[in-house]
């Protein structure tokens, strides 16, 4: 069922979602607020944009051009509807294509910033069991993996351009190694914890193309307090 929900409190934006698919999550909000955005950037790409939560949030932070790429047609259609509903189609362009082929059509050094909330899980023998095609692609590296993302970013990013990812902490070393293999130097990392006293369950990583070595570990973010309520920091993110 397709529904129209609030995009939290971001400019009273609304977002179209299909209840049979994944709805946008905290992951996307965290990434959109983590990535470095400055006044000099001209072009942003969000790889695997889903129904466009990250591009929409980014319009509240910059007036620059934003391109969202989504491989799944049904999800792309939701993104287009969401962008048009919020009158952001003069700033956001959504493309229905496979980024693994699409990026070859762009000139090198075309983007200042690339964001990606990628599939978290590697493909294994259980990948195709009891799961919809949409969820397989969204969860597992069937059409996009870390190597792809970093290879694409190496070509598309300008010198000193930024790649920002949200991912699982158990893959942090792999993320750092893959970035470096593609001339993207990890510069900022933030660890996300669901509650006080619990293990980290998400990480945010930002790297700079041809950047100098040296990484900054940001203050950790705790999502829920001891009573299970959102912490003040997360509430501020949700309020935009």
**CATH code, domain carrying 70:** 3.40.50.150
Look up tokens 């001209």; give the residue: 42
3-state helix, strand, coil in the chain (%, to 5): 30, 30, 40
Position 134 scores a pLDDT of 53
Q: How many domains does the chain have?
A: 1
Position 22 scores a pLDDT of 63
What is the per-residue DSSP string for 75-117? HHHHHHHHHHHTT-TTTEEEEES-HHHHGGGSPSS-EEEEEE-
140 located within any domain: yes
Backbone φ and ψ of 99, nearest 5°: -60, -25
Position 19 scores a pLDDT of 75
Position 56 scores a pLDDT of 96
Position 92 scores a pLDDT of 98
45 located within any domain: yes
198 located within any domain: no
pLDDT digits (tens, 9 = 90+) for 109-139: 999 999 999 876 666 645 554 466 555 555 6
Backbone φ and ψ of 175, nearest 5°: -60, -50
Position 109 scores a pLDDT of 97
178 located within any domain: yes
Position 11 scores a pLDDT of 74
Question: Which portions of the chain are predicted below pLDDT 70?
Answer: 21-24, 120-141
Position 191 scores a pLDDT of 98
Beta-bridged to residue 186, according to DSSP, are 207
- For residue 13, give its domain range: 2-183
b/e per residue 41-73 (b: at least 16 CB within 10 A): bebbbbbbbbbbbbbbbbbeebebbbbbbbbbe
Position 127 scores a pLDDT of 52
CB 116 within 8 A of CB 167: no
237 located within any domain: no
Distance of alpha carbon 188 from alpha carbon 136, whole angstroms: 30
Beta-bridged to residue 166, according to DSSP, are 204
Q: What's the chain's Rg over C-alpha atoms?
A: 17
Q: Is 4 helix (H, G, I), strand (E, B) or coil?
A: strand
């Amino acid at each position: 069922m397709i529904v129209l929900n609030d995009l939290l409190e971001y400019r009273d934006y609304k977002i179209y979602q299909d209840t049979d698919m994944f709805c946008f999550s905290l992951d996307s909000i965290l990434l959109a607020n983590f990535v470095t955005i400055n006044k000099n950037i001209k072009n942003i790409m969000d790889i695997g944009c889903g129904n466009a939560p990250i591009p929409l949030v980014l319009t509240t932070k910059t007036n620059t051009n934003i391109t969202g790429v989504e491989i799944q047609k049904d999800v792309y259609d939701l993104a287009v509807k969401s962008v048009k509903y919020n009158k952001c189609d003069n700033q956001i362009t959504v493309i229905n294509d496979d980024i693994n082929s699409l990026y070859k059509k762009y000139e090198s050094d075309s983007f200042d910033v690339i964001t990606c909330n990628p599939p978290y899980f590697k493909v294994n023998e259980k990948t195709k069991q009891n799961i919809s095609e949409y969820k397989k692609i969204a969860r597992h590296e069937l059409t996009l993996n870390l190597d792809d993302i970093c290879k694409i970013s190496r070509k598309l990013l300008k010198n000193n351009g930024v790649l920002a990812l949200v991912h699982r902490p158990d893959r942090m070393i792999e993320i750092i190694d893959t970035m470096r293999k593609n001339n993207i130097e990890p510069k900022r990392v933030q660890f996300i914890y669901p509650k006080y006293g619990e293990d980290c369950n998400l990480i945010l990583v930002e790297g700079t193309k041809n950047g100098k070595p040296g990484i900054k570990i940001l203050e950790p973010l705790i999502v829920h307090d001891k009573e299970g309520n959102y912490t003040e920091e997360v509430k501020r993110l949700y309020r935009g």
